[in-house]
Amino acid sequence: MKSVEVNGIEIFVEEAENYIQINDINGDDLAKLWKPLTEQYPGYDVNLCFRNMSEPKDILAEIGAEVLEDCISMQVTPQAFTPCGDAEITLLKKSDFDEFAALHDTLPDMYWTSRRLWDKWDNWRILVIHTNSKMTGYTMLCLAMRDASMGEIYAVEGDNQTQREALFSAAVRCIFENGKTVAFRVVERDNLNEKAAALAVGFREVGFYTGYHVKCP
């Protein structure tokens, strides 16, 4: 995504996907931005991300934005990391991508579809679990962050809690082995299983995040 200013406000645009992301905007700026944004980018999907701040609910309701994600932010450092699990987890090969894609694309509301992951292959690491020669779980993490010290985990999908803990552990280890000093994950507030798995490997809650979605008319 490229950074663009509209009415002096920074937004991030992926023109090939008709997608816009706006981070941590206050109500006055959103009210000022919305009309020129819709004129410049009609039909675009807009995600508004609010990190550790109260979202301007009145203007969000006025433009028709709906809650997409209600999450807590969690992170772990090498000093706090507690490895878990002994499952065999391997790095996904391109030759096995179709099997992964069939599993991954069943997730609802995931911007990073298999096609988009394939197009940005070098930015990602995808770790997978096989049970009886069938892929049953995976985690995907991004190493190309604006903060070069951080790697972010974008998905942890396992059949059971033991798998989820092992996947979190493998993802964190991979992030640190690639020179990062912080592993980061946002977890849906009501996903108690994933939160428990993250806590098991040393993650701690450090903030919150709310995401909204709306389409430019």
Per the CB < 8 A criterion, the answer to whether 118 and 136 are in contact is no
Per the CB < 8 A criterion, the answer to whether 84 and 135 are in contact is no
Q: Where in the chain is CATH 3.40.630.30? A: 74-208
- Summarize pLDDT for 118-129 with one digit per residue, the tens: 999 999 999 999
For residue 184, what pLDDT is reported? 97
For residue 216, what pLDDT is reported? 95
Q: What single DSSP character describes residue 96?
A: G
- Summarize pLDDT for 34-51 with one digit per residue, the tens: 999 999 999 999 999 999
Phi, psi for 144 (deg, rounded to 5): -100, 70
Query: Rounded distance, CA 86 to CA 165, Å?
Result: 10
Residues sharing a CB contact under 8 Å with residue 21, sequence separation 6 or more, in sequence order: 1, 11, 12, 46, 47, 48, 49
- Summarize pLDDT for 49-108 with one digit per residue, the tens: 999 999 999 999 999 999 999 999 999 999 999 999 878 899 999 999 999 999 999 887
Which of the following CATH numbers is that of domain 74-208: 3.40.630.30, 3.20.20.80, 3.20.10.10, 3.60.15.10?
3.40.630.30
Q: pTM for this structure?
A: 0.86
Two tokens, residue 116: 């988009």
